[in-house]
Amino acid sequence: MSSSLRTSLLAAVAAVGLIGTGAALHSGTTSAYATPAMPTDGSIADVAERVVDSVVNISVSGESRGGPASFDPFFSDPSSPFFGQQQRGRRAEAKGSGVIVTADGRILTNSHVVNGFTDIKVTLQDGTELDAKVVGKDPKADLAVLQLKGKFPPLKPIAFGDSSAARLGEVVLAVGDGMGVGKSVSMGIVSAKGRGSVGIEEYEDFIQTDAAINPGNSGGALVNLKGELIGINTAIASRSGGYQGIGFAIPTNMARPIMDMLVRDGKVARGYLGANIATVSSSLLKLHKLKVGATSGVAVARLDSNGPGAKAGLRQGDVIVAMNGVPMRSSDVLRNTIAMTKPGTTVDLEVVHSDGAKDAVKAKLGELPEQVAQDAQDDSQDPQDSQDEAEPFQNMPRGMQGPNIQQWQMDPSTGQWQRVQPTPHKRHR
């Protein structure tokens, strides 16, 4: 197939011969966040001039272990006498962007911008170059936190905004080091909100914008006309590898809690219900003979028998229509909401059972086990369950709870769950 006919999801960071995606955040434990400030006259120029000082260029380098020797059995086969004697890797370099979020030198950027590199340099707006270290990374959401080293001049941290308040059609600015040519600002609008199942990250809730985002913009700022940070620029959808009007940013309402957890705990602890889920559709209800009477919501396809959901009384075939009073209209929304809820929290689930009876279920969330993602990957190799599985959802694949949840859909004509190949994408570091 011609490359011009293929839609590629590309990360907005530039490296030698590669293009990639990702976003990470860095912050310290004793820093104060900036307070929002309105532009004096509301002009785009005033906003751009104020926020550009809060965005930095990130240059990373390290030894690349790739190359032909990595795939040559002469070097890679453990039974070979030359195993482990690969030739020295080449020096790899890449560039991206980051956002200053505290006055004491915390930087928010994409995880893929710094992942795998040992030498991290940050260049401020005045040209000052500083070393930085990684405080924490969350590859599942593509966020990372950096900390500047040594002494540095007074910084201008950006103000956090409420990304959920962004409106369709609202004017936004994208700031970053696009194509590695230097700091630049582009303008567009909020094209869509809550973009999930794109297939870039394990947890997705993107703001879509038509502001120009190019390789090198990964980790840069998406700001509103108050000069507030509402997103971390992360990826683009493109047939050419360059900007074509569809860019994605991680909303700050997702990024900030992840940043705080990385700084406080050194890791991200996600909530866990222990349920495999699927978005309700008319064909799904008909196929599995559910009489719930709910036209929207999230169906429980399978339960971990020892998980929080099963212990709370959820049953296979139930439809979750709301959590803590907020409607759950898709599996992406419920999955992200549970993941961003602190383990140990008791949540109120509004449930419609398969017989149509309504119920209120209180479930105390556990912590998402690391093994769940691996189990999802392993089980996805065998999508069909055993024939003695009880109805409903007897043909639903295992592994729907892990990162591949968006890669399965039901064929209404056959009733079979099929693996969906995501839009081809490339990651770049």
- Read off the pLDDT of residues 283-305 as tens digits, 9 standing for 90 and up: 676 666 666 666 778 988 889 98
What confidence score (pLDDT) does residue 293 get? 63
Torsion of CA 16, 21, 26, 32, to 10 degrees: 120
Amino acid at 241: G
Q: Which of 50-59, 109-118, 391-400 has the lowest mean pLDDT?
A: 391-400
Confidence of residue 382 (pLDDT cuts 50, 70, 90): very low
Is residue 28 scored above 50 in pLDDT? no
H-state helical runs in 308-409 = 308-312, 331-339, 370-379
Is residue 83 scored above 50 in pLDDT? yes
Candidates 26, 27, 54, 142; catalytic one? 142
Pair (387, 320) in one structural domain: yes
Q: Residue 117 corresponds to which tokens in the numbers above?
A: 């590199």
What confidence score (pLDDT) does residue 78 get? 59
What confidence score (pLDDT) does residue 39 get? 46
Residue at 25 is within a domain: yes
Q: At which of 221, 254, 287 does a domain end?
A: 254
For 60, other C-beta atoms within 10 Å of its C-beta total 23
Q: How many domains does the chain have?
A: 3
Omega within 30 of 0 (cis) for the link into 81: no
Residue at 118 is within a domain: yes
Q: At which of 120, 148, 176 does a domain end?
A: 148
Q: Name the pTM for this structure.
A: 0.74
Which residues, in sequence order, are bridge partners of residue 61?
Answer: 93, 119
Confidence of residue 29 (pLDDT cuts 50, 70, 90): very low
Pair (83, 126) in one structural domain: yes
H-state helical runs in 33-80 = 44-51, 73-76
Tell me the C-alpha distance between 203 and 195, whole Å: 11
Length of the chain: 429
Residue at 41 is within a domain: no
Pair (221, 275) in one structural domain: no
Candidates 59, 111, 112, 238; catalytic one? 112
What confidence score (pLDDT) does residue 404 get? 36
Candidates 218, 330, 354, 380; catalytic one? 218
Is residue 5 scored above 90 in pLDDT? no
Tell me the C-alpha distance between 298 and 376, whole Å: 19
The two beta strands, 228-238 and 171-176, are unpaired
What confidence score (pLDDT) does residue 250 get? 96
Given a contact cutoff of 8 angstroms between Cβ atoms, the answer to whether 304 and 165 are in contact is no
Residue at 215 is within a domain: yes
Residue at 352 is within a domain: yes
Residue at 84 is within a domain: yes
What confidence score (pLDDT) does residue 244 get? 84
Pair (400, 282) in one structural domain: yes
Single out the residue of 186, 212, 181, 219 nearest to residue 96, CA to CA: 219
Query: Reduced to 3 states, what is the DSSP secondary structure of residue 17?
Result: coil
The mean per-residue pLDDT over the stretch 60-69 comes to 62
Q: At which of 114, 148, 182 does a domain end?
A: 148
The mean per-residue pLDDT over the stretch 338-350 comes to 95
**What is the CATH number for 393?**
2.30.42.10
What confidence score (pLDDT) does residue 84 get? 56
In percent, the amount of the chain with pLDDT more than 70 equals: 67
Query: Reduced to 3 states, what is the DSSP secondary structure of residue 283?
Result: helix
Pair (114, 231) in one structural domain: no
The mean per-residue pLDDT over the stretch 113-128 comes to 92
For 128, other C-beta atoms within 10 Å of its C-beta total 12
Pair (140, 177) in one structural domain: no
Query: Reduced to 3 states, what is the DSSP secondary structure of residue 50?
Result: helix
Domain containing 237: what range? 163-254
Determine whether 240 is an active site residue. Answer: no
Confidence of residue 42 (pLDDT cuts 50, 70, 90): low
Is residue 98 scored above 50 in pLDDT? yes
Residue at 168 is within a domain: yes
For 127, other C-beta atoms within 10 Å of its C-beta total 7
For 248, other C-beta atoms within 10 Å of its C-beta total 29
**What is the CATH number for 114?**
2.40.10.10
Tell me the C-alpha distance between 320 and 294, whole Å: 9
pLDDT digits (tens, 9 = 90+) for 275-286: 988 888 776 766
Pair (295, 393) in one structural domain: yes
Given a contact cutoff of 8 angstroms between Cβ atoms, the answer to whether 174 and 213 are in contact is yes
Residue at 196 is within a domain: yes
Which contacts (CB < 8 Å, 24+ apart) does range 88-92 have? Answer: 88/63, 89/63, 89/64, 89/65, 90/63, 90/64, 90/66, 91/61, 91/62, 91/63, 91/64, 92/15, 92/16, 92/61, 92/62, 92/63, 92/64, 92/117, 92/429
Task: Find tokens 């079979």 and name the residue.
Answer: 416
Pair (8, 114) in one structural domain: yes
What confidence score (pLDDT) does residue 25 get? 28
Single out the residue of 217, 249, 254, 59 nearest to residue 138, CA to CA: 254
Compute φ and ψ for 261, nearest 5 degrees: -65, -40
Determine whether 112 is an active site residue. Answer: yes
Pair (214, 308) in one structural domain: no
Largest CA distance in the chain: 72
